[in-house]
Structure 1
Amino acid sequence: MIRRLAGVLWALAQTLPDPERDPDLGPFCTYLRQRYGRHPLALCPKEWEEGLLDLIAEAIAEGWDRYGAPSAARDPEGEGFIASFEGPWEPFTVRAQSKREAYREARKAWVRRLLG
């Protein structure tokens, strides 16, 4: 999935005279320039893929350090389980029949917030 997305971004950048000036693609292109020390258009699709993977991994690791990961436990108010996290933004809570399901839904919401 990331390989395809990076390939689409790389192909889009090839159509732009200066992708670093593009309001949407520019910040990622600047990140790539800083990471590799070359203009983003001089990079191959594999380098775009690696850069995108590293950027995503950095955002998740930073969020984990800053906010901690979601946690799950038995719901004290009834049957099932509850999972929650404190940030980013307002606290989040989800209830589900299984601990795995509650934790999975909380993790998905947490990663979406970190990457959003």
Structure 2
Amino acid sequence: MIRRLAGVLWALAQTLPDPERDPDLGPFCTYLRQKYGRHALDLSPGAWEEGLLDLIAETIAEGWDRYGAPSAARDPEGEGYIASAEVGPETILARGQTKREAYREARRAWVRRLLG
């Protein structure tokens, strides 16, 4: 999935005179230039893929360090479990019949907010 997405971004960048000036693609192109020391258009699709994977991993790792990962416990007000996480001022709450289910739902929401 990431390989295909990186390929689409690379192909789009090839159609632009200077993709770093594009309001949507520009920040990623700047990230690639800083990471590899070369203009994004001079990089291979493989470098774009690695760069995208690294950016996603860095974003998740920074969120984990800053906010901590979701946690889950028995729901004190009912059956099942409740999981929670913080992302900035927002609190994520998720419920599930099992601890794993609640944690998985909270983790999905947490990652979505970090990457959004």
Calculate the TM-score normalised by the size of structure 1: 0.97
Paired position in structure 1 for 2:111: 111
Paired position in structure 1 for 2:60: 60
User: How many Å apart are 1:94 and its aligned residue?
Assistant: 1.2
Alpha-carbon distance in structure 2 between the residues aligned to 1:105 and 1:88: 18
Alpha-carbon distance in structure 2 between the residues aligned to 1:7 and 1:60: 22
Percent sequence identity over matched residues? 84
Alpha-carbon distance in structure 2 between the residues aligned to 1:43 and 1:87: 33
Paired position in structure 2 for 1:40: 40
Alpha-carbon distance in structure 2 between the residues aligned to 1:88 and 1:102: 20
Q: What secondary structure does 1:12 align onto?
A: helix
Deviations 1:37-74 (A, max 9, x none): 11101100000000000000000000000000000111
User: How many Å apart are 1:109 and its aligned residue?
Assistant: 0.4
Q: Which amino acid aligns with 1:10?
A: W
Alpha-carbon distance in structure 2 between the residues aligned to 1:91 and 1:58: 21
Alpha-carbon distance in structure 1 between the residues aligned to 2:31 and 2:7: 16
User: How many Å apart are 1:11 and its aligned residue?
Assistant: 0.3
User: How many Å apart are 1:77 and its aligned residue?
Assistant: 1.2
Q: Which runs of 4+ in 1 moved over 4 A?
A: none
Paired position in structure 2 for 1:24: 24
Alpha-carbon distance in structure 2 between the residues aligned to 1:86 and 1:19: 34
Is the counterpart of residue 94 in structure 1 residue 94 in structure 2? Answer: yes
Q: Flag structure 1 segments of 5+ consecutive residues without an equivalent.
A: none
Root-mean-square deviation (CA), in Å?
0.8
Q: Flag structure 2 segments of 5+ consecutive residues without an equivalent.
A: none
Are the counterparts in 2 of residues 88 and 114 from structure 1 also a CA contact under 8 Å? no
